[in-house]
Structure 1
Amino acid sequence: MSVVLTERAAEEVKRIIDQQKLEEGAFLRVGVTGGGCSGFSYSLGFDNEYDEKADSKVDLHGVQVVVDKKSALYLDGTTVDFYDGIEKRGFTFENPNAVKSCGCGSSFQA
């Protein structure tokens, strides 16, 4: 699997799933979309649609994580963490493939 989810991020995902009362079998979809100030943007969301040919799925700390194969090329080795500090709160991406990132950390150039 190209993406690693930290325990802290997994706990936050589980909290959101419980809070939003998502359907049984909902999983976290991690991907890349075109756009953003650096060329690509990270995407995180919940989904129930899984395609065995186009997606890969793994259980990380009790969270089902799915990445489509095109996004996996850009996300190989990426760690998704959750930061909860006084100045900001949210998911962070540490991507070794990013040549350049924007200041907000939500877009990158590969």
Structure 2
Amino acid sequence: MAVTLSEAAARHITKFLAKRGKGIGIRLGVKTTGCSGMAYKLEYADEAEAEDMVFESQGLKVIVDPKSLPYIEGTELDFAREGLNEGFKFNNPNVKNECGCGESFNI
């Protein structure tokens, strides 16, 4: 199962990488934190490490470290604007519960 990008997320990432002037895609992972146990971490990537899983989606690379993959396998990263707010949304089929503020989750 892959980790994918929606068209909106790909447009946003492509625009930011162009403004930044470098990068091959994004690095997506999880860290232990928050009231539900895990939180997503997302950063722009300039290169992939040998042990990383690299997925191609919408013409961009989505890089995931092997420890994070079981928690986010099958996830689609989306980008949404809701009123004055905008940001990435994680459509993760593995999530069982999320905290009330939406910052963390558990599997």
TM (normalized to structure 2)? 0.89
Q: What percentage of aligned pairs have identical amino acids?
A: 38
Letter in 1 for 2:39: S
Q: In 1, distance between residues paired with 2:36 and 2:92?
A: 14
* Aligned twin of 2:64: 67
For 1:10-49, list aligned pairs within 5 A: 10-21=10-21, 23=22, 25-49=23-47
Answer whether contact 1:57 1:67 (CA < 8 A) is retained: yes
Q: In 1, distance between residues paired with 2:62 and 2:11?
A: 13
5+ unaligned residues in a row in structure 1: which ranges? none
Q: Alpha carbons of 1:88 and 1:39: their partners in 2 closer, same or farther (altered >3 Å)?
A: same
Q: In 2, distance between residues paired with 1:32 and 1:2?
A: 16
Equivalenced residues, count = 107
TM (normalized to structure 1)? 0.87
Aligned Cα root-mean-square deviation (Å): 1.6
5+ unaligned residues in a row in structure 2: which ranges? none
Give the C-alpha shift of residue 87 in structure 1.
Answer: 4.6
- Please list every run of at least 4 consecutive aligned residues from structure 1 whose deviation after the TM superposition is greater than 3 angstroms: none
